[in-house]
């Protein structure tokens, strides 16, 4: 065994490794190099190896917001950093520091079980803690930015760690600097959440209203969110999918008024100076709900979700995506944008859910 091979083995690096079990769409592509990391020391050693070997780096968490379309060159790191630390600030506030590899839904369960408010509406969103800020995950009127105090990051090239305040992360609708200007240099290693010991529940959003009321509890809201999501979204353990495949598009108020005149039942929500449309409704009305294309299709209970029945590669899904986007654009003049991140990346590195 040569020196390079010995070093790779000591660092837990596999060569030409399958990514099948690391993406919930279950596409079978390979990573040129792959390692599963569970400690910061190991992560730093892997980044040093990648820098010394002039290899690109991609970090993956749960693989639930990921569309792999080809073999991935360079080093793929599977983030399994774990741990939750709690600091009770006073009788009203709790700071919870969560390692980036923790399962997001388990984090929500942990908070609810301790009667801490703030993330109960975000239950059952797939992925890891580290992916939550990248995407600025949100559901039922709540986004992660609402409770995120700061983010711990590691610099890809130097291995240095630092904290970034939430207000400086460039959070927007399903977006952040971690998807933009920082994606080539920073990986998230931990997140600090600011939760409340007592707070008002947010019950006004869509399907949560019934059967909830003023007497609802933190636990009942959590359970209702789980119930609604299970009704609409397939469990990727049983039916391969990446959750919501398209973002809800933002359009101008003028465009919205024009569409409302033509389609009175258009589902839309005011969002600052724009209007947010329900992408699932657009796709459903365009006739795609429940449709199949080769071995993939549109989920029959939620048109926002594309599912993989039998394909090993992404070609059929990419073709279906293109057909849906063209159909919706021709009907509504709205261009849908994909939510999952595509691999291989056009840039050198990114942290994925």
For the segment 151-204, what is each residue's pLDDT rounded down to a tens digit? Answer: 999 999 899 999 999 999 999 988 899 988 998 899 999 999 999 998 888 877
Question: What radius of gyration, in Å, describes the C-alpha atoms of the chain?
Answer: 21
Stated as kind and residue range, the H or E segment containing 44 is helix 40-52
- Please give the DSSP secondary-structure letter assigned to residue 121: G
Residue 174: active-site member: yes
Confidence of residue 90 (pLDDT cuts 50, 70, 90): confident
Which residue among 174, 192, 268, 311 is the active-site one?
174
Sign of CA dihedral 160, 166, 167, 170: positive
Residue 240: per-residue pLDDT: 97
Of 224, 339, 349, 350, catalytic: 339
Residue reference for tokens 């919706």: 328
User: What structural domains does the chain harbor?
Assistant: 3-81 (3.30.43.10), 84-231 (3.30.465.10), 246-337 (3.90.78.10)
Distance between CA atoms of 179 and 353, rounded to whole angstroms? 12
pLDDT for 43-89, tens place per residue? Answer: 999 999 999 999 999 999 999 989 999 999 999 999 999 999 999 88
The string of pLDDT tens digits covering residues 254-311 is 999 999 999 999 999 888 889 999 999 999 999 999 999 999 999 999 999 999 999 9
**End-to-end Cα spacing for the chain:** 35
pLDDT in the model for residue 183: 86
Query: Out of 176, 244, 256, 268, which one is annotated catalytic?
Result: 244
Which single residue is written with the structure tokens 């003023």? 214
Q: Residue 22 carries which DSSP code?
A: G
More confident residue, 273 or 96: 96
Query: Is 192 known to be catalytic?
Result: no
């Amino acid at each position: 065994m040569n020196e390079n091979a010995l070093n790779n083995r000591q660092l837990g690096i596999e060569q030409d490794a399958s990514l099948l079990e690391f993406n919930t769409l279950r596409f079978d592509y390979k990573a040129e190099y792959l390692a599963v990391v569970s400690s910061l020391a190991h992560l730093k050693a892997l980044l040093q190896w990648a820098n010394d070997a002039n290899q690109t780096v991609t970090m993956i968490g749960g693989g639930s917001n990921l569309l792999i379309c080809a073999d991935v060159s360079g080093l793929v790191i599977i983030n399994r950093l774990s741990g939750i630390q709690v600091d009770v600030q006073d009788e009203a506030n709790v700071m919870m520091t969560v390692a980036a590899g923790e399962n997001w839904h388990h984090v929500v369960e942990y908070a609810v079980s301790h009667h801490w408010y703030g993330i109960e509406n975000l239950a059952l969103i797939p992925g890891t803690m580290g992916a939550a800020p990248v995407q600025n995950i949100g559901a039922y009127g709540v986004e992660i930015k609402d409770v995120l105090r700061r983010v711990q990051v590691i610099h890809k090239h130097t291995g240095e760690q630092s904290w970034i305040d939430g207000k400086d992360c460039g959070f927007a609708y399903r977006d952040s600097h971690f998807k933009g200007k920082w994606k080539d240099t920073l990986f998230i290693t931990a997140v600090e959440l600011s939760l409340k010991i007592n707070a008002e529940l947010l019950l006004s959003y869509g399907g949560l209203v019934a059967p909830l009321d003023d007497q609802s509890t933190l636990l009942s809201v959590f359970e209702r969110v789980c119930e609604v999501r299970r009704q609409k979204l397939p469990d990727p353990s049983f039916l391969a999918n990446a959750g919501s495949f398209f973002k809800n598009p933002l359009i101008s108020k003028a465009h919205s008024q024009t569409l409302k005149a033509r389609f009175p039942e258009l589902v839309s929500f005011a969002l600052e100076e724009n209007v947010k449309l329900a992408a699932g409704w657009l796709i459903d009305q365009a006739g795609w709900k429940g449709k199949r294309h080769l071995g993939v299709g549109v989920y029959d209970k939620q048109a926002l979700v594309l599912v993989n029945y039998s394909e090993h590669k992404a070609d059929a899904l990419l073709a279906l995506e293109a057909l849906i986007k063209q159909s919706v654009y021709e009907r509504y003049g709205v261009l849908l944008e994909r939510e999952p991140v595509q691999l291989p990346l056009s840039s050198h590195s990114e942290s994925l859910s």
